[in-house]
Amino acid sequence: MQRIPGQGLHAYVPHSFEVVDIAPVGAACFIATRPTAPGIQGFRDTLILADGLSASWADVTRDHALEEHYDCSGALKIHLRVAGRSGVTDGGQPAHDVAALSCSALAQPRGARKIEIFRGGERERSVTVSCSRDYLIDELGIDAQRYDGALRHFLDGEPLGFTLFRTTLGDALLQAAQTYFEPCSNVFSRRLRLQSCTHDIVRVFFERMGGQVSAPSTVSLRDRETVARVIARLAQGEGSRPRSVKQLAAQAGMSESKFTRTFKAVQGSTTTAYLQQLRMERAMVLIRSGRLPITQIALEVGYDHPANFSTAFRRHFGVAPRDV
């Protein structure tokens, strides 16, 4: 049997799935898994490319709500959600929402447990690229000093804990994600195509996360904890409309400039970009519910003019609201 690098099969397979095939392709290895629990249909497959780099893709429908548990390998997990919705937690903090047509990344402490919470009746379609810190630093040569906040701490080998980063999906990442689900009879060609897509996802994610040299952070631990609580409440979806930066700063008891500086140090992205992500995620949920017209949805997520909302939605998701 092909040697499974790193943490063994449990690092790649949820506890509620079982391995049905392992197929080596040169130095790489395909792992096919299928669900074992009743009421779950579909598959989750993995391509291990190196010790510290792998990609998994899932197309799964769950008839009922459930939790899936994973062993945390200490890796950075870049997640492209094409369809479906879930919540992610370590069991000790509120679940982070993962919406359809979104890109997020999770820094996981080694030895912890990741719990993903799914609602019943939804079809999940997603791709996850797993990168160890050693692979990113030693193999790719990523410079930790070019990033801020929790991502920099992860790359420095001093992770702050179970941390979720968010960025937009966009056409490039959506196209890469869809490639994993396309049939290909030549296993060698398929390995090369998916290997290329995996590297592209890593590249685009780190380009999105910054890359500008910044001054050392002077944010206090107390301020970090205050803003982290605000972010957790936002991720939980408190309130139907995402708040303004001014309102969030007041909630944290900080000036706007101090809040935005602390927010970026904690989250790794700007407050404006994060709020925009939440607005678009909520808009997508409202559109798919089919209960409100586009004009009302625009108002619900903070846009006074539907045309401005449609432009922002198309820029974010690559498709007009009426075409969803």
Residue 301: which CATH number?
1.10.10.60
Q: pTM for this structure?
A: 0.65
Indicate whether 128 and 234 sit together in one domain.
Answer: no
Contacts 24+ apart (CB under 8 A), 223-230: 223/254, 223/258, 223/262, 224/262, 224/265, 224/266, 226/252, 226/253, 226/254, 226/262, 227/252, 227/259, 227/262, 227/263, 227/266, 227/267, 228/266, 230/263
Among 178, 208, 238, give the residue marking a domain's end: 208
Indicate whether 69 and 139 sit together in one domain.
Answer: yes
Residue 130 sits in which domain range?
Answer: 9-208
Contacts of 243 (CB under 8 A, 6+ apart): 234, 251, 275
Indicate whether 44 and 191 sit together in one domain.
Answer: yes
In a domain, 122, yes or no: yes
Identify the pLDDT of residue 97: 84
Q: Taking the CB of residue 2, how many other CB atoms lie within 10 A of it?
A: 14
Distance CA 120, CA 61 (A): 8
Indicate whether 285 and 198 sit together in one domain.
Answer: no
Identify the pLDDT of residue 1: 36
In a domain, 80, yes or no: yes
How far is the CA of 155 from the CAs of 137, 142, 144, 145, 262, in angstroms?
A: 7, 8, 5, 9, 19
Q: What is the pLDDT along the chain (324 residues), one digit of tens a residue?
A: 344 444 455 556 777 789 999 999 999 999 999 999 888 999 999 999 988 999 999 999 999 998 888 777 788 999 999 988 899 888 877 788 888 888 999 987 777 778 899 988 888 999 999 999 999 999 999 988 888 878 888 898 887 777 888 887 888 898 899 999 998 889 999 999 999 999 999 999 998 887 543 444 567 778 878 887 887 777 666 544 556 888 888 888 998 888 888 887 777 667 887 788 778 888 888 898 888 899 999 998 888 888 989 988 887 777 788 887
Q: Give the count of domains, the chain.
A: 2
Identify the pLDDT of residue 238: 53
Classify 140 as helix, strand or coil: coil
Indicate whether 196 and 57 sit together in one domain.
Answer: yes
Indicate whether 51 and 165 sit together in one domain.
Answer: yes
Indicate whether 103 and 242 sit together in one domain.
Answer: no
- Give the CATH number, domain containing residue 185: 2.60.120.10
In a domain, 216, yes or no: no
Contact 79, 143 (CB under 8 A): no
Distance CA 74, CA 91 (A): 16
Q: Strands of 76-83's sheet, edge to edge?
A: 17-25, 28-35, 40-50, 53-62, 123-131, 76-83, 102-107, 163-167
Q: How far apart are the first and last CA of the chain?
A: 45
In a domain, 294, yes or no: yes
Indicate whether 99 and 71 sit together in one domain.
Answer: yes
In a domain, 270, yes or no: yes
Among 177, 208, 239, give the residue marking a domain's end: 208
In a domain, 37, yes or no: yes
In a domain, 1, yes or no: no
Indicate whether 261 and 193 sit together in one domain.
Answer: no
Indicate whether 16 and 96 sit together in one domain.
Answer: yes
Indicate whether 304 and 175 sit together in one domain.
Answer: no
Indicate whether 145 and 110 sit together in one domain.
Answer: yes
In a domain, 296, yes or no: yes
